[in-house]
Structure 1
Amino acid sequence: MNTAARRIGSRLVMAAWLFAVWLMLWGRVGPLIAAGGVAVVASAFAVSRPPAAPALRRVRPLWFAAALLEFAWDLLVSSLIIGRHALYRPGRVRGAIVEVDARTRSELILLAVTTSISLRPGTLLVDPDWDRHILRIHAMPVRSQREADAARDGVLRTEERLMRALVTAEDTPGQDEPTREDR
């Protein structure tokens, strides 16, 4: 697929997303609401340049399901750890800013990683450096270098899971044939 077609397809995906958000805000679908949504989306595109939706080459369903399950597990474990510290030692919990060098070059994967880590109790994105692919996160509890390294490794594992599940053009240039992992 050439670049112009990819860009047009990406803009159409963004327009469909904006239209879907419009419908969700109203909570129902009717002819006037749909016409209003089309007008709002057209106006948004006329007065601004909405970003192109990042393109996925492929979604690997089994790896995606595994990433969702591991995210649910991380969510449970981090909730228990933060809950324990909140109940038993609230004044002794320490945090740290941890810098993580992302391996991916895809903005979509970086966005998914930052969303995933920010949804988990105990971690929060503080400062993303999108140009250098560096994420600075606040992690807690962190009392030692070993725990800071564990927090960094947790973010890198999340990134690795998402890179396996979501194949993007930035991370796999020139690989259009399905691999054994895709089947």
Structure 2
Amino acid sequence: MREVLAPRLLGRRVPLPLVGWLALVWVTLWGEVSPGNVLGGLATGLVVTWLLPLPILDPGIRLRPVALVRFLLLFGWDLVTSTVRVAYWVAHPGPPPTQIVRVPLHTSSESMTMMIMIALTTVPGTVIMEAYPRELVVHVLGLPGDVAEAVRADVAGLERRVVAAFGTRRDREELA
């Protein structure tokens, strides 16, 4: 499949999807769809991708379907319960309880840390205030009392689920 999408041209791989994208940009910039513009865009895309090859990047993400389903189900549950909690505090008179919690992370992978941050920020009532290597500062809304340990446990569970669903073998070993 990779050979079809990136055939060799004079000894170098030329990624056809990127050539197509560059041709589309070329035609868009010229503002007119004509055979000359399309051929010029394809030729330009071929020359650019051949002269300036991009390195092969590994984003450090692997997809595991069973763990992904588990992650999505629990994430959906978090969305529902957090939405109800935030709606309650919006309708409730008086200021809602808020807390700022420092949460340690066990993974050093930037990809995994970013996915954890996105998942946390997507859930209503939580915001990432600061991010450090292996530590997040999280603002939590609507949980009464001293809930720092509960928040740390919830984030640790989220981290385990994210790494199980998307992490590399090294990420999973680091977490264990």
Q: TM-score, normalised by structure 1?
A: 0.62
Determine whether 1:69 maps to 2:70.
no
Q: How does 1:1-183 map to 2 (within 5 A)?
A: 35=41, 54-56=59-61, 58-89=62-93, 91-129=94-132, 132-145=133-146, 147-168=147-168, 170-172=170-172
Q: Secondary structure at the match of 1:82?
A: helix
CA distance in 1, matches of 2:143, 2:80: 18
Could you tell me which runs of 5 or more consecutive residues in structure 2 were left unpaired when the two chains were aligned.
Answer: 1-13
State the distance in 2 between where 1:140 and 1:148 align.
12
* Inter-CA distance 172–158: structure 2 relative to 1 (3 Å threshold): closer
Deviation at 1:172, TM superposition (A): 4.6
CA RMSD of aligned residues (A): 3.5
Counterpart CA distance in 1 for 2:125 and 2:84 is 10
Q: Is the 8 A contact 1:103 1:133 kept in 2?
A: yes
Per the alignment, in what secondary structure is the counterpart of residue 138 of structure 1? strand
- Return the alpha-carbon distance in structure 1 between the equivalents of residues 137 and 168 of structure 2: 23
Identity fraction in percent: 24
Is residue 60–residue 167 contact of structure 2 (8 Å, CA) maintained in 1? Answer: no
Secondary structure class of the residue paired with 2:83 = helix
Equivalent pair of 1:105/1:170 in contact (CA under 8 Å): no
- Give how far 1:171 is off: 1.6
Q: Aligned partners of 2:80, 2:127: CA distance in 1, in Å?
A: 16
TM-score by length of 2: 0.64
Counting matched residue pairs gives 138
Greater Cα radius of gyration, structure 1 or 2: 2
Instruction: Using CA pairs under 8 Å that are at least 6 residues apart, name the structure with larger relative contact order, 1 or 2.
Output: 1
Residues 110-141 of structure 1 show CA distances to partners (whole Å, capped at 9, x for unaligned) of 11110001001110011000xx3111111112
